[in-house]
Amino acid sequence: MLSVLKIRNLALVEDVTWELAAGLVGVTGETGAGKSIIVGALKLILGERADRSLIRTGQDACTVEASFHLKDAKAVDAVLEEAGLEPCQDGELIVKRTISASGANKQFVNCSPVTIQVLKSLGEFLVDLHGPHDHQSLNSRERQMDMLDKFAGIEEQLAKYEAAWKEWRATATELDELENSERASSQQIDMLKFQANEIASADLKAGEEEEIESKHRIAANGARLAELCGAITSRLSDGEGSVIDGLREISRSIHELEKIDPGTAKMFEGFKSAQIELTELESSVADYAEELEIDPAELVRLESRIDTIQKLKRKYGRTIGEILEFLAETERKLSRIENRGEEIAKLQKLVKEREAEVLKLGKQISKKRADAAPKLAKEVASHLADLGFKQSVFAAQLTNLSEPAKSGLEEVDFHFAPNPGEPSKPLRMTASSGEMSRVLLAVKSALAKQDAVPLLVFDEIDANVGGNIAEAVGRKMAALGATHQVIAITHFPQVASLAKSHFVVTKEIKGGHTKSQIAEVAGDERVEELARMLGGSAASAREHAKSLLKGAA
């Protein structure tokens, strides 16, 4: 369940901390009080697009924070793990989002920064939000199929089928491309051969560019290197006043000094090491200078090699590694074109095998759907009867597809006839907005046991229905509250009276600024709120409110 929702500087809300209970939570308030801000805050938590106009006037940023307590966090933990985050501790999940006027928006899950996509992925397992127009999603055949599949409990089978379908389509695409390559022009084949030969003839080696450049740098500067080596060895050992001759003079003095005072020997240990190292240095520099070869032909060869590599890089890749990858791909294409007859036969066989697997898995799913469709229809119809459609007809009609699709071998279309004697037609063609809201609630009620999303939010979906029907809608929401946390934002006292907990959104003007607040009402305060919603004379409205609460109890 959603245990706490904190909203700060969002639209009319300055600072609100809303602690929620389980079951059906009713939210009421006068039009314009700010009830829609709750939905807006939840949409931000679910990763929907943020608009800087939502920030409260005079503020730099707005923040929304939601704390969820999850009885089963497996699905959420899987999303967190994929995002490189730690799993929930004791089922606790905190989602926070900050919208800044400067555009530097931030979002966090359990204090770790995340992307908007992570919020969207988490949202699928946290909140199912339905507004006045969201019931239109029921018109989507894809959404209808998702509902039927949930009722049938075939998620694992669907995952296997989808994986098999993707393999089949990938192989079929590969076959199609190869068959089309049979019609490749001789010019295209010649181009592939030219590219492959040009790269192969260069005989590139991974990592050779650095070695070639190093050799070229030495060869191009051979004379200068020899000159520098000569200067070093000359200073170290040639002629009077050389460093090494000077060190020998110092060494003789040290030797005499140590004879007179052996205690000074330790003082000159570092000197002896330095003398040895400098002598070795002079020898190493001399050897290096001797090995230097100034070969104009070698310099020309190295420059030519560098030019060849640069030319290939301009045409086939930024590095030798990328050029070699291009060569491998070109050779693969050539091989497939030149041996396409054998390859086509192999792929044709594989396509048939994979299609057979798809059909096998698809038929298993089709049977499950065929079994579940009338059961779902019967379940929905029973809930529709509770919602005022006493003699309506509801059906989930399955139609076979001409070829397997990603979702299976058939499509579903919900049919509905709200009144007796009328032929059932596709739901999108028959139901009004008020009827659609009730159908949505009936479907949700039928799927209550299968629906793992813990929080259902209904934002005024009871609009366009009468008083008696509103009570039936409220009772259906209350029944959903037995297995889910349900937030019902409503204008109907019949619905609000059935809520396990009741909150009222109000607004006040202070210092020229409008501020919305939300507070729980109980006892006499709840009676007063229901009386306000009922209208009429104060006394009769209060009595009516009391009778509604008594009936709800």
User: Mean pLDDT across the stretch 123-150?
Assistant: 78
φ/ψ of 482, rounded to 5, equals -75, -25
Give DSSP secondary structure letters for 252-282.
HHHHHHHHH-GGGGGGGHHHHHHHHHHHHHH
User: What are the CA-CA distances from residue 179 to residues 186, 215, 337, 339, 352 (Å)?
Assistant: 15, 49, 9, 12, 16
Of the chain, the percentage scoring pLDDT greater than 70 comes to 94
User: Mean pLDDT across the stretch 31-46?
Assistant: 86
pLDDT for residue 497: 92
pLDDT for residue 137: 62
Least confident of 126-140, 384-398, 501-515: 126-140
pTM above 0.95, yes or no: no
The residues, any chain, with a CB within 8 Å of residue 286's CB and separated by 6 or more, are 229, 233
pLDDT tens for each residue of 337-395: 777 778 888 999 999 999 999 999 999 999 999 999 999 999 999 999 888 888 889 99
The residue ranges of DSSP E strands in 24-121, in sequence order, are 24-28, 61-69, 92-100, 106-109, 112-113
Q: In the Cβ-directed half-sphere of 40, how many Cα atoms lie within 13 Å? A: 20
Report whether pLDDT(536) > 70: no
Q: Contact, 396 vs 427, CB < 8 A?
A: no
Q: Which residue has the higher pLDDT, 552 or 373?
A: 373
DSSP 88: P
Instruction: Round to the nearest angstrom and report the end-to-end CA distance of the chain.
Output: 23
pLDDT for residue 486: 92
pLDDT for residue 412: 94
Give kind and range of the element (H or E) at residue 149: helix 141-152
- Token look-up 């205690």 returns 263
Q: Is 345 helix (H, G, I), strand (E, B) or coil?
A: helix
pLDDT tens for each residue of 517-531: 899 999 999 999 999
pLDDT for residue 183: 61
pLDDT tens for each residue of 160-215: 999 999 999 999 998 888 777 656 566 778 888 899 999 988 888 887 878 777 77
User: What are the CA-CA distances from residue 105 to residues 5, 74, 344 (Å)?
Assistant: 19, 28, 52
Report whether pLDDT(292) > 80: no
Least confident of 40-49, 103-112, 203-212: 203-212
| Residue extents of the structural domains in the chain | 1-126+453-519, 200-334, 522-553
pLDDT for residue 284: 83
User: Mean pLDDT across the stretch 103-112?
Assistant: 89
pLDDT for residue 67: 95
Nearest to 138, CA basis, from 459, 388, 429, 419? 429
pLDDT for residue 246: 79
Q: Contact, 517 vs 54, CB < 8 A?
A: no
pLDDT tens for each residue of 119-131: 988 988 888 887 7
CATH number of 1-126+453-519: 3.40.50.300
pLDDT tens for each residue of 317-330: 888 888 999 999 88
Nearest to 320, CA basis, from 218, 202, 219, 214? 202
Angstrom distance (rounded) from CA 118 to CA 120: 5
Least confident of 1-15, 393-407, 417-431: 417-431
Q: Which residue has the higher pLDDT, 113 or 220?
A: 113
Q: Contact, 477 vs 498, CB < 8 A?
A: yes
Q: Which residue has the higher pLDDT, 453 or 151?
A: 151
User: Mean pLDDT across the stretch 269-288?
Assistant: 81
Of the chain, the percentage scoring pLDDT greater than 90 comes to 32
User: What are the CA-CA distances from residue 476 to residues 71, 443, 491, 505 (Å)?
Assistant: 23, 11, 16, 23
**Residue 444, token pair as written in the block:** 């949700």
pLDDT for residue 118: 92
* Highest averaged pLDDT of the listed ranges 65-69, 231-235, 515-519, 532-536: 65-69
User: What are the CA-CA distances from residue 440 to residues 56, 78, 249, 384 (Å)?
Assistant: 34, 29, 104, 10
pLDDT for residue 277: 83
pLDDT for residue 432: 66
pLDDT tens for each residue of 415-437: 988 888 788 888 878 766 667 77
pLDDT for residue 96: 95
pLDDT tens for each residue of 209-244: 787 777 777 777 776 777 787 788 777 777 667 787
Alpha helices in 447-492 (DSSP H): 467-480
φ/ψ of 105, rounded to 5, equals -75, 150
pLDDT for residue 134: 58
**Alpha-carbon 305 to chain mean position:** 47
Confidence of residue 7 (pLDDT cuts 50, 70, 90): very high
User: Mean pLDDT across the stretch 458-469?
Assistant: 74
Report whether pLDDT(294) > 80: no
User: Mean pLDDT across the stretch 27-55?
Assistant: 86
The residues, any chain, with a CB within 8 Å of residue 496's CB and separated by 6 or more, are 26, 28, 474, 488, 490, 502, 529, 530, 533
User: Mean pLDDT across the stretch 488-492?
Assistant: 89
Parallel/antiparallel/unpaired status of strands 106-109 and 112-113: antiparallel
**Residue 521, token pair as written in the block:** 């009402």
Confidence of residue 406 (pLDDT cuts 50, 70, 90): very high
